[in-house]
Amino acid sequence: MCGFTGYIGKLENREEVLVNMMNTIIHRGPDSEGKYIDEDAALGFRRLSIIDLSSVGDQPLYNEDRSMVLVFNGEIYNYQELREELIEAGHTFTSNTDSETLLHGFEEWEERLLERLRGMYAFAIWDIKKRKLFAARDIFGIKPLYYAQMNGTLLFGSEIKSFMEHPKFDKVFNETALGNYLSFQFVPTNETFFKGVFCLQPGHYFIYENGVMSITRYFEPHFTGNCKKPFSEVVNDVEAVMKDSIKMHKISDVEVASYLSSGVDSSYLTYLGQVDHTFTVGFDEGRYSEIQDAKEFAASIHMKNDAKVITPDEYWDNLSDIQYYMDEPVADPAAIALFFLSQEAAKKVKVVLSGEGSDELFGGYNIYCEPMEHTGFNKIPMPIRRILGKFAEYCLPRGMKGRGFLMRHGKTLEERYFANATNIFTEREANKILKNGCVPGIRKITRPLYDRVKDKDPVTKMQYVDLHLWLVHDILMKGDKMGMANSLEVRVPFLDKKVLELAETLPLNYKVRAPKTKVALRGAAEKVIRSKTAEKKKLGFPIPTRVWLKEDKYYKRVKKMFTSDAAEQFFNTKLLVKMLDNHKNGKNRNEKTDNSRKIWTVYIFLVWYDRFFGHGKPVHPSQSGTGFF
């Protein structure tokens, strides 16, 4: 696990610029560094040693005749079998690293190498003779890869902040991304909040040659649901593929531990992985802590559990630093908790297993039950349901029981479902609160995804949308950035090519039987862990932001940001303050109001904007001392 950065283009003081770029991502690889520089290209690398701890595994890495050079972030879990195949084909290896397997594999198969890989990866290969750059990202988007073409230069790397050290980089805020961010709580496209900076999408590669970039999609998931096996046999298949995936994900020359919540995903991984250490965080807020359940489960399978209670002050006081590590705002309160979880784990280990991806592959979100519930109501003709939905939206008071139900069922699935935790602000609300009203349109984002699965059942459609939006731009982004902020490698065994191949075949009733989710996965888990955990309803990562925002201390902190110059630049601040006051007072038009998700989404954006645009160049937390400027 590492980080890389680089550029293609002419420049004076090439090495000094590259070193400055590398220093911004030192948290991704504190163990060693390396660089390659010629008259056109500069590639920099920071290493976190996991496999082949000797210096032989350092990067940039060359092929036999030094005609190609590689920088790579991630892990290739089937590298040993690929290595044997490449040796038989005549390639000479100088290390036992998965990195070298990528390099020789590209020599042998070029872009067809990607079809053979099983792992998480973002990598770039500079062909020194052909003066051509090849870069690729894994099929799920576990590892990040950004790029920008500016002023005759291509910038590329693991984190955007490294680009800011290059004199050809123009740091310009991309205001067009703000509208969709307010609805999605993340930027849901390949655009970023930095104008001209893009993320390479999962399952894509690009080739850059003679100043021209071409991008190709090499992988797309296909949910067939064509499995005809009896349920008991499928449960055994799930168990077998998960055991195999975890075995592959435990390949390491250092100890592998596990995150542990009270849910089925991390509990099942922990049991199958037979790790020595597990790590949990929570809050001293009653139902906002899973620590007790996690400790009980760990004890039941005779494993150690290290738990940390996050205090409200340390949660709030670290927000600016955390936004620095994120590169872009993600208004998921769990991202901050994940920072502290990875910080605790990093005190003892370099690698952890985590349960991301199980919900998208196996049908785990509670909202996936909705299409199979209230089927009687759904028989009402859509025109009538639309009228009822509009009446509920404009005439019924917020918080009134049944209002949300009528609004959701007054729309088709394609109109109402944008991703698992979306629609923070409706388009109408976002246009009202933004001074410039620049909301590009949510359905412009989702329509191409729904078009590709228009013949599938509703749950599969929701899974497909979540795989491309929620998983990539929220779940995996925060997982990578928060782990690497603490020099910790986070491995996700559910997001494995072989696991996906099985999940793609599951019929609907093996995924969701309302009100039960992840039916086949829970069946496999219940064979080996207690039913209390295997059958526990999806909870998510509970964060008490709703409670905190009612307290004077945090209310005042948010209000100060809501009335700042930056807020005045983008938002109708009177509406922001009104929204905050209504939440604190608990009433709005005589009914209960919970505006916490909306408040948090705006506040996190403003904290991020202050860090990256309010004070010139952002400072690494180790240099700032306080986390603020």
Instruction: Give the C-alpha separation, 488 to 472, whole Å.
Output: 19
Length of the chain, in residues: 629
In the set 2, 227, 395, 438, the catalytic residue is: 2
Contact assessment for residue 267 and residue 273, using Cβ atoms and an 8 Å cutoff: no
Among the listed residues 97, 92, 93, 91, the one whose alpha carbon sits nearest the alpha carbon of residue 71: 97
Spatial separation of the C-alpha atoms in residues 29 and 26, rounded to whole Å: 5
Residue for token pair 């930095």: 194
For Cα atoms 132, 138, 142, give the angle at the middle one, nearest 5 degrees. Answer: 130
Residue 205's Cβ-side half-sphere holds a number of Cα atoms within 13 Å equal to 19
Residue 572 and residue 435 in contact, taking contact as beta carbons nearer than 8 Å: yes
Q: How far apart are CA 328 and CA 474, in angstroms?
A: 11
Task: Name the nearest CA neighbour of 125 among 62, 174, 188.
Answer: 62
SS3 571: strand
Q: Residue 2 catalytic?
A: yes
Write out the two tokens for 85: 């195949």
Q: How far apart are CA 510 and CA 619, in angstroms?
A: 49
Angle at 182 (CA atoms; ends 180, 187), nearest 5 degrees:
50
| Residue 492 token pair | 């996700």
Strand-by-strand arrangement of the 32-37 sheet: 32-37, 41-47, 2-8, 153-157, 146-150, 197-199
User: Do residues 231 and 524 make contact, with C-beta atoms less than 8 angstroms apart?
Assistant: no
Residue found under tokens 């168990």: 239
Query: Active-site residue numbers?
Result: 2
